[in-house]
């Protein structure tokens, strides 16, 4: 078992527990943030070491009652990539996507259990549904024409949704790629640096 995490401020300003490392994502913390149930034990597996350069990705295998068999946990990189992502607002945009866009826009995304960020810092934590049984695209092999077409259709739907005036309020919290800390204009376009965003391809 691992040790307790630390308490910090979330992006929304309320006090929230943001673990400083994967060792701090323990059974007690997960029990508090998951949708009900109790976690009694965890087995941690590092994933995407060859492709996940901008962040640390883990698959946590859970034991308990009323909890998923596994979840994906994403934390900031501990390399030079962290500074670049912080400078470009990459982490902030990703957290904003999962907090404000996922579940509202017409694009398939994993269920979001937790999306927290320490205000004024690159420290964050994402806990997502594990879609390990879905067919994930191979970054090196690329996509077939049919799979590429499916991805384009999904992105086109997201773009159209972001252009609708009725969604302007939702997207106001989504930072611009040009000015990560500045306000967004009305009816902004979604331009996210998405990290772990598995989607089904057929």
Contacts by residues 168-172 (CB-CB < 8 Å, ≥ 24 positions apart): 170/100, 170/101, 170/104, 171/100, 171/101
CB 137 within 8 A of CB 197: no
CB 63 within 8 A of CB 40: yes
Q: Does 83 reside within a domain?
A: yes
Give the residue numbers spanning the domain of 28. Answer: 7-133
Q: What is the mean pLDDT of the segment spanning 25-50?
A: 92
Going by pLDDT thresholds of 50, 70 and 90, the confidence category of residue 131 is: very high
Q: Does 41 reside within a domain?
A: yes
Q: Does 161 reside within a domain?
A: no
Q: Does 107 reside within a domain?
A: yes
The structural domain count of the chain equals: 1
What's the CATH code of the domain at 25? 3.30.200
Q: What is the mean pLDDT of the segment spanning 161-169?
A: 85
Contacts by residues 41-45 (CB-CB < 8 Å, ≥ 24 positions apart): 41/1, 42/1, 42/2, 44/2
Name the pTM for this structure. 0.76
Q: Does 86 reside within a domain?
A: yes
In the chain, helix, strand, coil percent, each to 5?
30, 25, 50
Please, what is the average pLDDT of the chain?
A: 78
Q: Does 11 reside within a domain?
A: yes
Q: Does 171 reside within a domain?
A: no
Q: List pLDDT tens digits, range 91-105.
A: 888 888 898 888 888
């Amino acid at each position: 078992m691992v040790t307790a995490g630390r308490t910090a401020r979330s992006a929304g300003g309320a006090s929230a527990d943001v673990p400083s490392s994967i060792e701090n994502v323990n059974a007690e913390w997960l029990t508090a943030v998951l949708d009900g149930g109790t976690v009694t034990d965890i087995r941690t597996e590092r994933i995407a070491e060859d492709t996940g350069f901008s962040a640390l990705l883990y698959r946590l295998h859970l034991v308990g009652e009323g909890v998923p068999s596994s979840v994906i946990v994403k934390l900031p990189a501990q390399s030079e990539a962290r500074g670049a992502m912080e400078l470009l607002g990459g982490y902030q945009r990703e957290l904003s996507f999962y907090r404000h866009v996922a579940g509202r826009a017409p694009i398939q995304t994993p269920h979001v259990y937790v999306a927290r960020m320490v205000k004024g810092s690159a420290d964050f934590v994402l806990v997502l549904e594990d879609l390990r049984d879905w067919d994930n695209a191979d970054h090196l092999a690329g996509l077939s024409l049919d799979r590429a077409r499916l991805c384009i259709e999904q992105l086109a739907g997201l773009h159209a949704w972001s252009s609708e005036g009725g969604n302007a309020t939702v997207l106001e919290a989504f930072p611009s790629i040009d000015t990560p800390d500045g306000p967004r204009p009305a009816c902004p376009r979604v331009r996210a640096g998405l990290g772990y965003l598995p989607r089904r391809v057929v």
